[in-house]
Structure 1
Amino acid sequence: MASVLIDGIGSLVTNDPALGDGPLGLVEDAALVVEDGRVAWAGPRGRAPGHAEERFDAGGLAVVPGFVDSHAHLVFAGDRTEEFAARMTGRPYSAGGIRTTVAATREASDDTLRANLARLVAEALRSGTTTVECKSGYGLTVEDETRSLRLAAEATGEVTFLGAHVVPPEYAGDPDAYTDLVRGPMLDACAPHARWIDVFCDRGAFDGDQTRAVLTAGLERGLVPRVHAGQLGPGPGVRIAVELGAASADHLTHLTDDDVTALASGDTVATLLPGAEFSTRSPYPDARRLIDAGATVALAADCNPGSSYTTNIPFCVALAVREMRMTPAEAVWAATMGGAKALRRRDVGHLGPGAWADFVLLDAPSHVHLAYRPGVPLVRRVWRRGRLVAGGDRPVGPEASAARPARA
């Protein structure tokens, strides 16, 4: 692969304080050199090395790292439009609606699920997401959870087993028996296809004892925990996540002071999903409280058919600034470097030397415009591992997307 100089960058977010100003490592009038799919150099354009074989002129526009979406549910079939419409008339959101998607997903063919997954990954790529995590959780049988993970692995190396999403109808009278299935035969079949294990620890889903049992079983099989916690009400999810060394605790709409203290004192990333609050008319998480306490915060889209049917991280950035009291710089960092930390990745989320050359050219002079101009399609071009994958003259769609990206 030829070396490329990305020149004439008006404002470059590197997320490397050693390269520029503040936590964003911001460099004005900047350049970026890419070699073999990785960042070889970043800094002021007047100091850029002159040996690059190709040159791209950014025309004074801003460049940010590719967004890292660390929470997504992309393997599913069906539609929950009626549920959304009913909720907009006042019906509250509950975990039970997931079962509608489970029924449709079980009935769908592999080709149907694969096509929908490719569509959503391509959609995310067009809005600047270059790394995405993908969960199972809409099969809830050994066979269907295994195929969900197998399909997810065609799109990303960040695959999460979420057999403990909700209790399926056939186990409605015996949730402990379903928990035993998840942490036994289902996990045995699914663990080889996943990196992570997740549990929806909340009202209407799984309690603290069930959550701990499933996550502990996952740890014994080499999977790293993640936890859905505090979306529908306060509960033990955050404390279990920190106790077990989970990479992230996600949602966090309802937090106690002890939860905040635990997140601030541990390594578990607080992943906030404002698209879910937007789509369910719920209170937004208090990002300011977490940041001021010293917790590491990530932003993710939580794309799913029931409570956050969006893949658009710029939209989530704007929501975080407007509704969660984050500054534009904090929100952009959380959607890039924060997501990388939630996935325990050092090679994405920033544009320091050695990182994968995943970056986005914005149709704006500054990253601030992601919040300043909500709803405006500001992503002009997207590069992944040094290759232009969206924007320009390259076709954009499942055939040109990250439907089969380079594995992590």
Structure 2
Amino acid sequence: MNLVFQDRRVLVVGGGAVATRRVKQLLDVDARVTVVAPDASLELVDLAANGKIEWHHRGFSPDDIAQVWLVVTATGVDAVDNQVAQLAEDNCTWCMNSANATGSTALPMTTVLGDDGVAIAVSGGSDPGRARAVRDAVGLLLHAGELPTRRTRILSKDQPATGSVTLVGAGPGDPALLTIAAMRAVSAADVLVVDRLAPAVLWQSPAPGVEVIDVGKIPGKHAVPQEEINAILVEKAQAGHRVARIKGGDPFVLGRGGEEALACLSAGVAIDVIPGITSAISVPAAAGIPVTQRGVTAAFVVASAHDGPEAVIRATADAPNDATLVLLMGVGRLPAIAAGLIDSGRAPDTPLAIVESGWTPRQRTTVTTLDEVRQGGVSVAPPAVVVIGEVVRLRESLGDLATPSPDARHA
């Protein structure tokens, strides 16, 4: 049963801790609250002084029940609470009796108010402590996006839905590294647009009615052009859908998230972004390689290997000589990039680490040098992150630092 409290007149009999808690709950749902009690807590006195509630500084009178929609008893004296509850029942008035929460007039008042119009009521019968414990546990699941709160009705004749796009950073691959905001966005979406680096657990078993569109860009295979991805996001949002664009790492770190955001805004589509843990830092960390280290380097450069050695060299042109270089994507061009870096002044024996499938059980790290990579003596399979610089030597002392979840994997 869903009761609407907004602008309803509610009488709270009592002024102690329980009454204060009930009053705050009632104010949260926009009820018009009157408190009757000889004494009241400081919170209730303050609420009355600020015009949030009415407080009658006296004991209860049977006439107080007239013209109210709900009575809440919270005096702490069972005999008084039961007397008020009986008068309410005789008057055909809703009542929540704190002295007898299992009685016929009891109503659930412990609620979890979720985002997007979802409200969950919990009643513990005669054990309010248990109700609060359940409420708090459900609240954690609700805010973590682990409850099925996705809309099932998108369009209506009277109120067309407004679609939107959320760029969701899904981190390096381990679902344990997903943010709460990311989980909530995915659970609320009815369209998931995913790439190959997104954790598979996010989208391979979607809820009924959720459309999954795979736009993954797999090396050596036909890729969905970025312009087409932009068009998909706009089209689905304009049809009234909530779209979660799930991207590995962080959407704005070599993820083309900025392009997708601009495309949506140009089409008048509402868009927001949820940052993710970028693989540029987290994957080296998993392999025991900090991208900065006091006494070694205070700077690092993140570049895409996809565009070849010239682009990488340009990206590092203004960086300090000791800066760590982190390369994402395009590992097939690594020998040419290594040769270009050596030709531009990097020492051939500069340490280089290749971390494949970071933050998954398949993680593998190869430590070598620029010269060995230039000669083609190192094989590597995507997805991989490449780290170049003296910080790579720290792996000898640190070793692997990650414990990936057993179900962590990319598509």
Bin of the TM-score, shorter chain as denominator length? under 0.3
TM-score (norm 2): 0.27
Give 1 or 2 for the bigger CA radius of gyration: 2
TM-score (norm 1): 0.27
